[in-house]
Amino acid sequence: MSADRADDPTVPAPAAPTDGGRLDPEARRALVALLRQGVVVARHKRLLYDALVRHAAAIRAHLADMYLTLLLDEREGVAVLLQQPGEPEDAVDGDEPDVTALVTRRTLSLHDTLVLLVLRKHYQDRQTAGDQLVHIDLEHIEAGLAPFLPLTTSTRSDQRRLSGTLERLLERRVLARVRGDDSRFEVTPVIRYVVDAEALEGLLGAYRALLESGRVPGGEADDD
């Protein structure tokens, strides 16, 4: 096997599995890539996305054994790895960690949440305007955060925190870099699964009310 084929999960392997695996090579490679990445956007990984669509039934059957499922949004061209809803019967009780949970849940800081709201609102506005590809620059993100900055506990670290948040969103493929411009990003359709339209309006209303009242939710919620 060449180095290129080994490094690129979107390149199908020609040989049939000889180790007793139930999936054919293309489906297995697509499954491994999905487990590694969590999210696949068709615009960025077309071959991998197409393989997930072709083998969706077999991949879902395999994922079900791990309490996972594959969400496919073929209109937006997005594949997302999700934990199955509800607790399985053999989940660990008490204070022990749930060994069946393979998708890690993370509590977002206040700052991360505000950035997500700015991105989701911009994505919604541009889609309503008919844009097929949604871009946003750093200046626009900062301007969107400005009304909420009194909610944060530190003004000196705003730039550092924003940079850290954007890096995390790039890793999770909510954002993608625009080639040749470090201050400009693509907001991917993944944002729709992080913050839906109903949650967006509710959260924006709640934050505006808190801003007007001068109260900061969670006290140290914005701590890194």
The domains located in the chain, with CATH, are 3-83 (3.90.1150), 110-213 (1.10.10.2260)
**How confident is the model at residue 33, as a pLDDT?**
94
115 pLDDT higher than 70:
yes
What pLDDT digit, counting tens, does each position of 13-31 carry?
Answer: 545 555 567 889 999 999 9
What stretches of the chain adopt beta strand conformation (E)?
39-41, 68-73, 78-83, 135-137, 175-178, 181-187
Picking from 172, 169, 148, the residue whose alpha carbon sits closest to that of residue 221 is 148
Residue 142 in this model has a pLDDT that exceeds 50:
yes
Please report, as a single letter, which amino acid is at residue 6: A
Q: Which residue type is seen at 179?
A: R
Please state, in angstroms and rounded to a whole number, the distance separating the CA atoms of residues 27 and 31.
6
> What SS3 class is residue 166?
helix
pTM of the predicted model as reported, rounded to 2 decimal places: 0.68
